[in-house]
């Protein structure tokens, strides 16, 4: 069997990737995370800003889907938000509703009731401020437990994605769970973007994504992605199917407006999809 070529970043500036003979870029889909909209709503009594109202704006502006992460303390998204959001997304054929959460905390009953298009499993503690690490895929006990909840979620009609640190060796273990995709935790890349460490930090993301291709495992990405740092990541990896973006998108919307920000993301995604892939000589 020929050795799998390693994707490389040439010159420290322009990312190139090898993707098993595929010569065109994947057109990445944008899922808009509404948690920050709900967080503002919850700072006052009442239901404004209404996540459903802003979810509709996002879909009308071209978002491929909506993402929420209902935590047990309901600090932002509430359980009562979920059914109306699912109904909203269902009114837009081809769009998807993605629910994130810990399958060993409060998530599985939600999936059984709501039946989102995608379930993204994250190993967050109940009181955790935000997701900050992926699953310990090198632990056989963790993989065994994940396999059970992956199968359960799939029985509800959900595509399942598992939150993963950019550790290429974790990819094969993630595949063993039966999951459909992994979601690369991108905070490390986002923090290094624009620094001398940028390309070194990016490399394991590229390697992880390439291995997913070999394994027929889908690739999502999320955490601290923005209009500034997204293009380089997508160009380097080449096969990221979906990004879920909320915090940065909400901040950018304060400057550009909610709908205009989503249009800018879609312009970026179209621009990346139009790029040719470059295959370095082996």
Tell me the residue ranges of DSSP E strands in 217-256: 218-222, 242-245
117 appears as a binding residue in the annotation? no
100 tagged catalytic = yes
130 appears as a binding residue in the annotation? yes
Burial class of residue 252 in the structure, from the number of CB atoms within 10 Å of its CB (0-12 exposed, 13-18 middle, 19+ buried) = buried
102 appears as a binding residue in the annotation? no
The residue from 117, 183, 198, 223 that is catalytic is 223
Q: Is 160 in contact with 198 (CB distance < 8 Å)?
A: no
224 appears as a binding residue in the annotation? yes
C-alpha–C-alpha distance, residues 264 and 267, integer Å: 5
223 tagged catalytic = yes
Q: H helices within 135-186, ranges in order?
A: 140-155, 170-176
239 appears as a binding residue in the annotation? no
247 appears as a binding residue in the annotation? yes
133 tagged catalytic = no
C-alpha–C-alpha distance, residues 252 and 267, integer Å: 15
The residue from 96, 100, 183, 252 that is catalytic is 100
The CA angle 165-166-172, to the nearest 5 degrees, is 90
Active site residues: 69, 100, 223
**Residues in the annotated binding site for 3-amino-2-oxopropyl phosphate:** 33, 44, 224, 246-247
**Residues in the annotated binding site:** 33, 44, 71, 76, 130, 224, 246-247
């Amino acid at each position: 069997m020929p050795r799998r070529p390693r994707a490389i970043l040439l010159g420290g500036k322009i990312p190139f990737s090898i993707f098993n003979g595929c010569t065109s870029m994947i057109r990445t889909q944008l899922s808009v995370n509404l948690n920050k909209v709900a967080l503002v709503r919850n700072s006052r009594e009442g239901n404004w800003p209404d996540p459903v109202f802003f979810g509709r704006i996002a879909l009308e502006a071209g978002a491929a889907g909506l993402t929420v992460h209902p935590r047990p303390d309901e600090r932002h998204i509430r359980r009562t938000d979920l059914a109306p959001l699912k109904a909203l997304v269902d009114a837009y054929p081809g769009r998807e509703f993605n629910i994130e959460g810990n399958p060993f905390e409060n998530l599985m009953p939600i999936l059984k009731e709501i039946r989102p298009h995608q379930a993204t499993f994250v190993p967050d503690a109940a009181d955790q401020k935000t997701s900050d690490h992926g699953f310990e895929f090198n632990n056989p006990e963790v993989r065994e437990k994940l396999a059970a909840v992956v199968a359960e979620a799939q029985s509800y009609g959900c595509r399942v994605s598992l939150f993963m640190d950019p550790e290429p060796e974790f990819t094969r273990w993630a595949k063993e769970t039966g999951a459909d995709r992994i979601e690369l935790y991108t905070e490390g890349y986002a923090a290094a973007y624009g620094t001398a460490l940028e390309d070194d930090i990016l490399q394991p993301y590229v390697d992880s994504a390439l291995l997913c291709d070999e394994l027929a495992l889908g690739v999502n990405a999320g955490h601290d992605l923005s209009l500034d740092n997204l293009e380089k990541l997508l160009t380097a990896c080449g096969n990221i199917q979906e990004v879920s973006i909320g915090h940065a998108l909400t901040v950018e919307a304060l400057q550009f407006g909610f709908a205009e920000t989503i249009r800018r993301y879609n312009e970026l995604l179209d621009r990346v999809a139009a790029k040719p892939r470059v295959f370095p000589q082996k």
